[in-house]
């Protein structure tokens, strides 16, 4: 049946496996329909590989196939996880917590995972309704679980769903567990090996009790409750963009004392089709439009919005011209750390044993601010699991203040070990209250930060390359940058190259090659390239671990002399980023 189609051997093998195996007849019918229609592209994209664990777990389009999110790929992932847990903790009563977001099939996938784990002798704590990803991380730690699962595709388009795996510390799995789980999943060569029939008594439904404990943990991160009390009427606009944020953000803000929160009602109902937006991503202005319009209508002080699983948050501020604009992830992360360092110092909490953490593609402004405050700043690979790893390694030795990454994910305090948009919304509201208490707008607060530490601006160019062909193209792009590295960026010579694949640093002037400093925590190999110039520009190339994309990060900086020069200075930096993108043919 497949002989007339131009399919590679792996794709043919996987299709045949599904047609011969113990899969639902409806599934086989859909595959046969694709074959009859000679839909080579869809067959290849659906079957050319198995979904893998990347920086954020397993993620893909919903549909039929080994490279799609469905009952069987979720089943294989869960069976592999169950097998690994039983090997790691023989004789123990193993516990796993499970949560899910508002996406299509999320409740079903969560239940399938619960049934499979229970069938393998594992006790499951399953949230009876959708809950944010950070709450799952908290729950794993609170209940002393060995592992956790969240069914979510974060901020991806509506066609996607995903599967995040957590370890007992509340962090997403890192080496060696991630690779070992993949090996266990790959060892399941027959769908008969998946135990789909659950054991009801091993599945415990959870909800309100854990909600209260999580909210209490969020409340504990507040640094200046007195200022919040004085600014309780702060006008806040919030949108959950049809996701899980609606379950926790309004409650978190209320318990902190904020009494004037306006919710975007058209986006308040959880819905996996995300009917009011193209992409449920608070990074996108389109997704934030309703919130920004409401803010303009009521003359708000702050706009915040969370993505479907509420681990990322976007924020809007009013500029001096009275127009609302969005801050990017680097600006928001910087403001959070800027405020936390100020507030901790004012509260007498800085003792010399505190630290912040960020990823290597996140703004170096955070390093600058931390250094000026006598606080260590650790840089990790992309993925919040690496930030969580730093927190774990330093537990009992140093206190984690906060951290973040440019992709709109931030964490305050160590009760959660993943991006936490609930806690971030609370802290963003607090820093806005602080600024207003000082007679400043958020925009003023941002400008003050840049005046003090330098105006840093980061641009991101993301190129999507879907399917097997796209994956091959991304590999070739990285190979080309290694073989022919740029000599200069916007007229400034490249003086250093960091290649995280081989963990090697090259001094371009001397040709000297050394190991990338890993400090006390270590850092693993990753397909990332960074180029540094004489004027402080940083250019990073990184294939995404969770999406069919290659991402290019361009960081530039200069001085900000006055607030009045904010826009002109920003324009010069934006133009410089655009120039570099053109020089490298990235646009």
Catalytic residue numbers read: 154
User: What element of type H or E holds 32?
Assistant: helix 25-36
Sign of CA dihedral 275, 276, 278, 279: negative
Give the 3-state secondary structure of 156-181.
CCCCEEEEEEEECCCCECCCCHHHHH
CB 420 within 8 Å of CB 215: no
- Residue 330 Cα to chain centre, angstroms: 13
Whole-number Å distance between alpha carbons of 179 and 441: 47
Of 446, 443, 459, 452, the C-alpha closest to 559 is 452
Residue bearing tokens 């960026």: 489
Residue bearing tokens 């993505």: 307
Structure-block tokens of residue 444: 């003023």
Give the 3-state secondary structure of 370-417.
HHHCCCEEEEECCCHHHHHHHHHHHCCCCEEEEEEECCCEEEECCCCC
Cα distance from N-terminal residue to C-terminal residue, the chain? 42
Q: Between helices 208-219 and 249-256, what is the axis angle to 10°?
A: 50
Q: What are phi and psi of 365, to 5 degrees?
A: -60, -35
Count how many Cα atoms sit within 13 Å of the Cα of residue 228 in the half-sphere of its side chain: 22
- Helix-strand-coil percent breakdown of the chain, rounded to 5? 40, 20, 35
């Amino acid at each position: 049946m497949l002989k007339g189609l131009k399919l590679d051997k792996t794709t043919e093998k996987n299709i045949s496996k599904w047609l011969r195996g113990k899969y639902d007849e409806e599934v086989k019918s859909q595959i046969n329909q694709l074959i009859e229609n000679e839909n080579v592209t869809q067959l290849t994209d659906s079957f050319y590989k198995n979904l893998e664990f990347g920086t954020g777990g397993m993620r893909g389009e919903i549909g039929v196939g080994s490279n799609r999110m469905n009952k069987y790929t979720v089943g294989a992932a869960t069976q592999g996880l169950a097998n690994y847990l039983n090997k790691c903790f023989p004789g123990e009563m193993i516990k796993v917590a499970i949560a899910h977001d508002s996406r299509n099939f999320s409740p079903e996938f969560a239940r399938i995972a619960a049934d499979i784990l229970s069938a393998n002798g594992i006790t499951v704590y399953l949230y009876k309704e959708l809950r944010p990803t950070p709450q799952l991380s908290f729950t794993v730690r609170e209940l002393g679980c060995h592992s956790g699962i969240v069914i979510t595709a974060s901020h991806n388009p509506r066609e996607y769903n995903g599967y995040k795996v957590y370890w007992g510390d509340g962090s997403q799995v890192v080496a060696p567990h991630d690779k070992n789980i993949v090996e266990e999943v790959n060892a399941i060569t027959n769908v008969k090996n998946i135990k789909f029939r659950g054991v009801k008594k091993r599945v415990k439904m959870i909800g309100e009790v854990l909600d209260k404990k999580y909210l209490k943990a969020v409340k504990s991160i507040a640094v200046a409750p007195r200022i919040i009390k004085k600014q309780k009427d702060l006008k806040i606009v919030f949108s959950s963009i049809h996701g899980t944020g609606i379950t926790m953000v309004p409650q978190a803000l209320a318990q902190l004392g904020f009494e004037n929160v306006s919710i975007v009602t058209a986006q308040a109902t959880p819905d996996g089709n995300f009917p009011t937006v193209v992409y449920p991503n608070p990074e996108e202005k389109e997704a934030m439009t309703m919130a920004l319009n409401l803010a303009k209508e009521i003359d708000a002080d702050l706009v915040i919005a969370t993505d479907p699983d509420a681990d990322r948050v976007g924020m809007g501020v009013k500029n001096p011209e009275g127009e609302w604009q969005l801050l990017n992830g680097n600006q928001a992360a910087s403001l959070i750390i800027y405020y936390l360092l100020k507030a901790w110092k004012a509260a007498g909490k800085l003792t010399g044993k505190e630290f912040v953490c960020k990823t290597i593609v996140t703004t170096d402004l955070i390093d600058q601010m931390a250094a000026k405050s006598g606080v260590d700043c650790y840089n990790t690979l992309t993925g919040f699991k690496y930030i969580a790893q730093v927190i774990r390694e330093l537990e009992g030795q140093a206190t984690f203040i906060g951290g973040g990454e440019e992709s709109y994910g931030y964490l305050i305090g160590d009760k959660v070990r993943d991006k936490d948009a609930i806690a971030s919304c609370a802290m963003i509201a607090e820093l806005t209250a602080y600024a207003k208490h000082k007679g400043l707008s958020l925009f003023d607060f941002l400008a003050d930060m840049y005046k003090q530490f330098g105006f840093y601006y980061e641009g991101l160019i993301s190129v999507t390359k879907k399917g097997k062909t796209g994956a091959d193209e991304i590999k070739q792009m990285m190979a080309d940058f290694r073989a022919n590295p740029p000599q200069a960026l916007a007229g400034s010579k490249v003086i250093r190259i960091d290649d995280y694949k081989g963990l090697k640093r090259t001094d371009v002037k001397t040709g000297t090659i050394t190991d990338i400093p890993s400090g006390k925590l270590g850092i693993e190999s990753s397909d990332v390239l960074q180029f540094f110039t004489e004027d402080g520009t940083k250019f990073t190339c990184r294939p995404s671990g969770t999406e069919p994309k290659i991402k290019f990060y361009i960081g530039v900086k200069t001085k900000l002399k006055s607030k009045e020069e904010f826009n002109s200075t920003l324009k010069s930096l934006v133009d410089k980023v655009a120039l570099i993108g053109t020089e490298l043919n990235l646009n």
